[in-house]
Amino acid sequence: MAHKHKTEGEMDMKLLYLLSTTMCILLFPLFLYGEDNQIAWDNLCQASSISLCADVGKDAYNNDTNPIALRGLKLGKIVGVVWKEKGDVITSTGEDTSFSPQNGYYYIIEDDWGKKFLRSCGEIEARK
């Protein structure tokens, strides 16, 4: 019985196939919860001139109200401001549901992967 030895090219193709299949499996959930499935918050900056709207376009960083290990961490770009009443849902589709602990303004922040989420304006430092 003759053994068939695989050439480097055949092994490279199988490895490429395995890697591409794995990447597709890992990335598929991102498409399920992409921008189309995100909550569309009512951005107050489109129809209002509240002072927090001056931060739109700036980078959002955790401020000193956050745990020490998270202070100064860049979260993304501020793309809007919303008002939430105590008990309103403040999480995106596909995340564990969180509720606003109090009435207040929240920044709409877009991370480097295009996902938008809310953070209380009191927890954020806006930087250019």
- Please check whether residue 94 is in contact with residue 32, taking contact to mean a CB–CB distance below 8 angstroms: yes
**What are the b/e assignments for 17-55, b being 16+ CB within 10 Å?**
eeeeeeeeeeeeeeeeeeeeebeebeebbeeeeeebbeb
Query: From the centroid of its chain, how far is CA 42?
Result: 17
Which pair of tokens denotes residue 23?
């990447």
Q: Where are the domains of the chain?
A: 37-127
What does each of the 128 residues of the chain score in pLDDT, given as a tens digit?
A: 555 666 766 667 676 666 566 554 654 444 444 444 556 788 999 887 899 999 999 999 999 999 999 999 999 999 999 999 999 999 877 788 899 999 999 999 999 999 999 999 999 999 99
- Residue 81 and residue 70: Cα distance in Å, rounded? 22
Q: For the chain, give the longest Cα–Cα distance.
A: 81
Nearest to 107 by CA among 86, 90, 85: 90
